[in-house]
Amino acid sequence: MAEKSILSIDLGGTNLKIGLLDSRYRIRDKEILSTKSQNSKEGLISAIIYSAGKIISRNRLKHSDIIGLGLGLPGPIDVEKGLVHFFPNIPGWKEVRLRAILEKKLRLPVVLDNDANLMCLAEYRLGAAKGSVNAVCVTLGTGVGAGLIINGTLYRAKTFAAGEIGHIPINVNGPKCNCGGVACLEAYIGNRRIEELAVKIFKKRITLEETSVLAKRKDKRALQLWNQVGKNLGTALVGVVNLLNPDCIVIGGGVAKAGKVLLDRVREVVEKQAMPIQARHVKILSAKLGSDAGLIGAAILAKEGI
């Protein structure tokens, strides 16, 4: 019998990634679309349907060759109902029954979850958190999210909304956040906020990739930028470490490409400010699966959930 394939989608505030994976979670085909051009809910749903159809026909697959579709989405999701409550960084989504819409259009079983949960699931099964019992996986991009593994199980809580580390306030007063909160971590270190900080420091528009390269060359302004980001992230993680006493914290997502300069600062803050027992125990690690973690996690969810 021929091996079945899995479709997976990782939707972010910037890109929509779609992958075709085999049953051992190896990526066989992949496509990336910009979500910035899709400025309506209907446009984004159409893009999901179109890209899924395209990858199916390109690989000459029948619907019976596919286990199903897993989606990672950047906001709170009701996993049981297949419902998107809202997206903090993509307007126009409120209480959308996305699973039902996609199952009707694609004629495939569909499962949805928060994108950070799926990145966490992938890193726990196949990446940097493999072998741990309690892990926190943080994803840094347009938004800042986290997935939690507690006693070897992905922890979602009763209303499936656990893990929103980006919406932990790190000050009493501070910038407003897209979620409606004030001084949330994401309002300081979401990639758009870091770009704004970079303009202030460099006095010109500069990409985060360029600042990462400059930081590796010990450029003072780049080091100032990434030290500030690392301090803000580290401050939030001190609370997480003290509260959950995890074995490891895995840091991934586009912003994490800054690498050592960011991780070293985070480690320094946690080491200095977390309670000693928790601080000694926790390892702060770079994600292993890179930008494919969300697709792999969505495929794991699809195979096991369907």
Do 37 and 97 share a domain, yes or no? Answer: yes
Averaged over successive runs of 10 residues, the pLDDT of the chain (306 residues) comes to 88 88 95 79 90 93 94 93 90 93 95 95 97 96 93 94 93 90 94 94 94 93 96 96 98 90 96 97 96 95 89
SS3 at position 96: strand
Do 266 and 300 share a domain, yes or no? Answer: no
Cα–Cα dist 73/112, whole Å: 7
Angstrom distances, CA of residue 43 to CA of 46, 87, 252, 276: 5, 15, 28, 50
pLDDT the model gives residue 186: 94
Asked whether residue 300 is assigned to any structural domain, the reply reads: yes
**Domain residues for 209?**
128-287
Query: Residue holding tokens 């000050």?
Result: 171
pLDDT the model gives residue 39: 67
pLDDT the model gives residue 1: 55
SS3 at position 181: coil
Cα atoms in the Cβ-side hemisphere of radius 13 Å centred on 292:
17
Asked whether residue 120 is assigned to any structural domain, the reply reads: no
Nearest 10 degrees: Cα torsion 68, 159, 76, 226: -120
- Name every residue whose Cβ is closer than 8 Å to that of residue 42 and which is 6 or more positions away in sequence: none
Beta strand residue intervals within the chain, DSSP E:
5-11, 15-22, 27-34, 66-73, 77-78, 83-86, 94-96, 110-114, 135-140, 144-150, 153-154, 248-252, 283-286
Asked whether residue 31 is assigned to any structural domain, the reply reads: yes
Per the structure block, which two tokens stand in for 299? 């495929």
Do 107 and 136 share a domain, yes or no? Answer: no
Q: How many residues does the chain have?
A: 306
Asked whether residue 123 is assigned to any structural domain, the reply reads: no
Q: Does residue 140 contact residue 255 with C-beta atoms inside 8 Å?
A: yes
Do 297 and 208 share a domain, yes or no? Answer: no
> CATH code at 106?
3.30.420.40
Do 223 and 148 share a domain, yes or no? Answer: yes
Do 181 and 256 share a domain, yes or no? Answer: yes
Q: Does residue 231 contact residue 264 with C-beta atoms inside 8 Å?
A: no
Ramachandran class of 294: left when φ > 0, alpha when ψ lies in -120 to 50, beta otherwise? alpha
Cα–Cα dist 101/98, whole Å: 5
Do 88 and 26 share a domain, yes or no? Answer: yes
Cα–Cα dist 43/236, whole Å: 35
Amino acid identity of residue 97, one-letter, is R
Asked whether residue 22 is assigned to any structural domain, the reply reads: yes
Residues β-bridged to residue 275 = none
Beta strand residue intervals within 144-300, DSSP E:
144-150, 153-154, 248-252, 283-286
DSSP 185: T
- Count the neighbouring beta carbons within 10 Å of the beta carbon of residue 136: 29
Asked whether residue 238 is assigned to any structural domain, the reply reads: yes
SS3 at position 25: coil
Do 88 and 198 share a domain, yes or no? Answer: no
pLDDT the model gives residue 23: 93
Count of structural domains, the chain: 2
Do 89 and 180 share a domain, yes or no? Answer: no
Candidates 214, 222, 215, 219; CA nearest to 198 is 222
- Count the neighbouring beta carbons within 10 Å of the beta carbon of residue 110: 24
Do 58 and 73 share a domain, yes or no? Answer: yes
Asked whether residue 121 is assigned to any structural domain, the reply reads: no
Do 136 and 267 share a domain, yes or no? Answer: yes
Do 281 and 297 share a domain, yes or no? Answer: no
Asked whether residue 122 is assigned to any structural domain, the reply reads: no
- Name every residue whose Cβ is closer than 8 Å to that of residue 185 and which is 6 or more positions away in sequence: 144, 165, 166, 167, 168, 169, 170, 232, 233, 236
- Name every residue whose Cβ is closer than 8 Å to that of residue 26 and which is 6 or more positions away in sequence: none
pLDDT the model gives residue 92: 87
